Amino acid sequence: MNNIINLKSNEEWNILYKSNKKLAVYFTASWCRPCQIIAPLFEKLNSEFKEVYFIKIDVDEFENITQDMGVTCMPTFYFIFNEKIIKKMSGAHETELKKNILLLNEYLDNSSDSFSPEDKINYK
């Protein structure tokens, strides 16, 4: 099972964004009730779709990324591949989240390199 990546730095975001991987990016906040409701589904989908990197970004910790991505409400999800936004979704809509993850998963074949974001970042 893949682990959800809880974003730790701007550097990590830049590496992930430019990784040519399929990214399901979840902008959330600890105080956001709809975020808390949709979080278990995001975690479940993470275990089902191995080709997708699931990334969780706290909007209060990463205001610059939140603003750069144009996030205005929570939860907001971006589905990204090759630095291209395939789809954007706002709100805690379970059916739409499943549909967009499936769309991202089937979007073009992923390269077979062994890139791991954790390998590229020197955590202290």
Q: Which residues are catalytic?
A: 32, 35
Beta bridge partners of 58: 28
Find how far residue 73's CA is from the centre of its chain: 16
CA-to-CA distance for 119 and 3, rounded, in angstroms? 15
Secondary-structure percent of the chain, ordered helix, strand, coil, rounded to 5: 40, 25, 40
Question: What H or E segment, with its residue span, contains residue 98?
Answer: helix 94-106
CA-to-CA distance for 25 and 69, rounded, in angstroms? 11
